[in-house]
Amino acid sequence: MKRYYSLLALLCCCVPSAWAQIERNQNGEISDEEVVIIKEKELKLPEAVRNFEKVTIPLPVPAPTPQKYSFQTFGATLPAIDPRMSVVRLPEDELDKLYGTYLKGGLGNYGTTYLEAFHNSKRTNDYAYGVHFKHFASAKGSVKNSGSGENRFAGYGKYFNEKYILTGRLDYSRERYNYYGYPTEVSKDSLKQIYNTLSFGATLQNATDSAAFNYVGNINFSNFSDSHKNRESEFGIGFNSSYKLNETMTLFVPLEVALLQYKNDTLSLGRNYTALRPSFQYKEGALTASVGFNLGFCNDTAKLATKTTIYPTVELAYQLMGGSLTALAGFNGDLEKRTYRNTVQLNPFVKGELPLSHANKTMDLYAGFKGVIAKDFFYKITGGMQQYKQLAFFVSDTADVAKFTLAYDSAKVNITRFTGEFGYAPSDKWRFAFKTDYYGYSTKKLAKAWHSPALRMNLNTRYNYREKVYIDFDLYYIGTQYAFNPLTNQTQELKGIADVDLRIDYKFSQKFSAFLNMDNILSQKNPRYLYYQTRGLLVMLGATASF
């Protein structure tokens, strides 16, 4: 910039000399002249001197001053911290909707009426309750006066917490039958038989089975009577417990006590029954072993049936082929309780005054195998020998051929038994189950094992079509059996019975459905007991509702 100023000053010095050479006329105007500028002089400027070093200006240093501190306490109240945090959670599975009430009813041939109702509490934290009612009756059957009926009412209440579960229950049933098994016609008024059962009880158990000590205790009372003034009352106490000693050893102690009282117009008999069945189980790897004993005691007020039995129990199981096959074997004996009530459940056409005796199983030796294949197929096959004393069989009463009493072989009864069970569920649509039992009876004093078939089979299948249509097909078969006919004083063969049932359920929605039941499609009427023909084809239409 300085160089430009110097050049401008030089030009100003030269201009006046040029102006002095210009002549002007009288009017002051410049006349035409030729001006010649000769540039001969070369101007040179000296190089400027520049200083590139930074000038350092020293800062003043203050004099040191001693620090003085003053401590003061300040109080402050801060608002509570309430962080808003969003926790990531996995989506919970939606619970299925529960319906507290379920009704099912239908009508069928033989004047059959059916109604069943359930009402239960829904999901709660510490209690549950429910009631059940059932009515099923047929005014007639294949044979005159062969109608029957059943009415039942039951209720329960349950309280539970983290430590225990307490349950109370009440049950009443009324069952109507007719003694229609006469070879000739008799008065209808003498055929009627009605069984009434009233029972109630309570159960206390621990809430979880993962504890070292588990228990289930119950107390029960029942009163069973018929229309011919025969009555049986039972007061029972049961206690099942298990104690896990360590990871491989567990002690089981089940106890059952029953005080029975049987009465009619001419007899009053007290019968007592006690069974203690402790066992010790050892489980290590593929081996499971159990040893113990069964102690039984019974007596009556007539002092005719005092008995004490004790039998060892042994059971071994060993897993093979990675658990898909388990070999098992065992031995035991036991005193089996027989009452008027459980005898009627087997055959409702018995007479009231029965010679009741508890069955003494002196030996039960068995072996077999079981397993699961590909998680879809289950199987179990066992075989063995059993031996009984005081094993009861049903025979027609010589005084009344339509009623049955009990006959005992005074010697031991040997039974050869084979059992096969199979289950297959390839998908949610199909399910199959099959079971067969074979009993080879060997009696010594009795001519036959009366009314005890050697072969029993049942097949159950279910097909589920899109959760809309359910089809059940069942087959029950009872093989040939033998009865003693007091009218001919001869052994009579009773042909086998094949019962084929078909049930179809169609769901309109989660609340409503309709069903069609066809029982005994083959309409076989072969007798289950002497002179007691079974009912023929029974067709029933009905519907269900949930709300």
Report CA dihedral (289, 211, 216, 248) to the nearest 10 degrees: 10
Whether the Cβ atoms of residue 520 and residue 536 lie closer than 8 Å to each other: yes
Please enumerate in sequence order all residues whose Cβ is within 8 A of that of 491, keeping only pairs 6 or more positions apart, or say none.
Answer: 447, 448, 482, 483, 484, 485
Locate 244 and state its tokens: 């896990």
Phi-psi region of 390 (alpha: psi -120 to 50; beta: other; left: phi over 0): left
Whether the Cβ atoms of residue 504 and residue 542 lie closer than 8 Å to each other: no
- 160: closest CA among 203, 218, 199? 203
Instruction: Give the model's pLDDT for residue 266.
Output: 87
Report the CATH number of the 109-546 domain.
2.40.170.20
β-partners of residue 320 are 325
Domain range annotation of the chain: 109-546
- 143: closest CA among 176, 193, 182? 182
Provide block-wise average pLDDT over 10 residues at a time, the chain (547 residues). Answer: 49 46 54 60 62 64 68 61 61 73 96 96 92 96 90 96 94 95 80 95 90 93 94 97 94 97 90 96 95 95 84 96 90 96 95 91 96 88 96 94 93 95 92 96 94 96 94 96 94 95 95 96 92 93 95
Kindly report each contact of residues 43-52 with a partner whose C-beta sits within 8 Å and lies 24 or more positions away, as own/partner: 43/7, 43/10, 45/3, 45/6, 48/2
How far apart CA 4 and CA 23 sit, in angstroms, is: 32
How far apart CA 224 and CA 33 sit, in angstroms, is: 162
How far apart CA 237 and CA 533 sit, in angstroms, is: 39
Phi-psi region of 229 (alpha: psi -120 to 50; beta: other; left: phi over 0): left
Report CA dihedral (319, 323, 326, 332) to the nearest 10 degrees: 70
Instruction: Give the model's pLDDT for residue 89.
Output: 65
Instruction: Give the model's pLDDT for residue 303.
Output: 76
SS3 of 235, please? strand
Instruction: Give the model's pLDDT for residue 401.
Output: 92
* Identity at 461, one-letter amino acid code: T
Instruction: Give the model's pLDDT for residue 545.
Output: 96
How far apart CA 485 and CA 531 sit, in angstroms, is: 10
Instruction: Give the model's pLDDT for residue 20.
Output: 44
Cβ neighbours around 442 below 10 Å, total: 13
- 198: closest CA among 338, 358, 341? 341
With tokens 């005159």, the residue in question is 144
Instruction: Give the model's pLDDT for residue 56.
Output: 64
How far apart CA 328 and CA 320 sit, in angstroms, is: 11
Q: Annotate 101-139 with b (16+ C-beta within 10 A) or e (fewer).
A: ebebbbebebebebbbbbeeeeeeeeebeeebebbbbbe
- 278: closest CA among 309, 240, 335? 240
Whether the Cβ atoms of residue 432 and residue 460 lie closer than 8 Å to each other: yes
Instruction: Give the model's pLDDT for residue 17.
Output: 46
In angstroms, the Cα distances linking 500 to 37, 440, 529 are 143, 25, 19
Instruction: Give the model's pLDDT for residue 30.
Output: 56
Locate 507 and state its tokens: 């769901």
User: How much of the chain is helix, strand and coil, in % rounded to 5?
Assistant: 5, 55, 40
How far apart CA 197 and CA 342 sit, in angstroms, is: 12
Instruction: Give the model's pLDDT for residue 15.
Output: 46
Whether the Cβ atoms of residue 222 and residue 259 lie closer than 8 Å to each other: no
Going along 301-389, which residue ranges are E strands? 307-320, 325-336, 359-373, 377-389
Does this model's pTM top 0.75? My answer is yes
Instruction: Give the model's pLDDT for residue 88.
Output: 60
- 421: closest CA among 377, 464, 451, 389? 377
Instruction: Give the model's pLDDT for residue 18.
Output: 43
